[in-house]
A and B are shown apart, each in its own frame.
Chain A
């Protein structure tokens, strides 16, 4: 099946610094990628939809200046958490849609655990 990678898998940073997370589709092209965050024992919350070559669409309540998304190519989207604070600590997961598949399925990356001290 289709593979989506994320890097890094874990990151610990100091409050006030920025952190970039990469999401790559390895064996298919993804014009659309999604970014989610997940708190312990809770559901995935959609943060934004990342579209190749255009601006990301953010969900209500998600600060676009705080969570910068860049979908630079058909296989890469990045999420930058700017001026991170402890409340930004969470599990961030990306997914990519394989429009070429018969099920129009989205495939998830393994996630990135962000801890802000």
Chain B
């Protein structure tokens, strides 16, 4: 069955450092992959999308890579700030183009 894995353990880093989050998937050939931010008790907020033919995408302090051979995406936040503390979800659009499936998310804690 299709599976999307994100590190369930919280990632704790110091302010100013780069945070790197991982999303691995199996039994999928996604057309593209998305990253979302979710704060407690709120709906997810779209951050970045990367297509299968793209290796890297950047937006301000955010960078996403997509390796379809390794079936892995990495999400980086450079110069992290305490305001970046949240849960980050990856989502894949499946072969049925109408559906998105989410990983369980990784909680990021940025300490001042």
Q: Which chain B positions have C-beta within 8 A of A103? A: 49
Count how many chain A residues have C-beta atoms less than 8 Å from C-beta atoms of the other chain: 24
Q: Is the CB of A43 within 8 A of B103?
A: yes
Q: Is the CB of A111 within 8 A of B46?
A: no
Bound Cα distance A34, B96 (Å): 14
Q: Of A1, A32, A42, A44, which one neighbours B44 at CB under 8 angstroms?
A: A44
Chain B 75-112, CB-CB to A under 8 Å as 1, else 0, gives 00000000000000100000000111111110000000
Q: Is the CB of B103 within 8 A of A107?
A: no
| A18 beta carbon closer than 8 Å to chain B | no
Count how many chain B residues have C-beta atoms less than 8 Å from C-beta atoms of the other chain: 19
Q: A44-B89, A111-B41, A111-B42 are in contact. Are A32 and B100 (CB under 8 A)?
A: no
Q: Of B45, B89, B100, which one neighbours A34 at CB under 8 angstroms?
A: B100
Chain A 16-51, CB-CB to B under 8 Å as 1, else 0, gives 000000000000000010101000001110100100
Bound Cα distance A36, B98 (Å): 14
Q: Of B4, B100, B104, B105, which one neighbours A106 at CB under 8 angstroms?
A: B100
Q: Is the CB of A44 within 8 A of B98?
A: no
Q: Which chain A positions have C-beta within 8 A of B49? A: 103, 105
For A94, the closest partner residue in chain B by CB is B43
Q: Is the CB of B102 within 8 A of A44?
A: yes
| A93 beta carbon closer than 8 Å to chain B | yes
- A59-112: which have CB < 8 Å to B? 91, 93, 95, 103, 105-111
Q: Of A43, A46, A57, A111, which one neighbours B43 at CB under 8 angstroms?
A: A111
Q: Is the CB of A106 within 8 A of B98?
A: no
15 A-B contact pairs sorted by A residue (CB < 8 Å): A34-B99, A36-B102, A43-B89, A43-B103, A43-B105, A46-B101, A46-B102, A91-B41, A93-B44, A105-B34, A105-B49, A108-B43, A108-B44, A109-B43, A111-B41
List residues of B whose CB falls within 8 A of some A CB: 4, 34, 36, 41-46, 49, 89, 98-105
In the A-B complex, list the 4 residue pairs whose CB atoms are closest, starting with the nearest. A108-B43, A43-B104, A44-B102, A43-B102
List residues of A whose CB falls within 8 A of some B CB: 1, 4, 6, 32, 34, 36, 42-44, 46, 49, 57, 91, 93, 95, 103, 105-111, 113
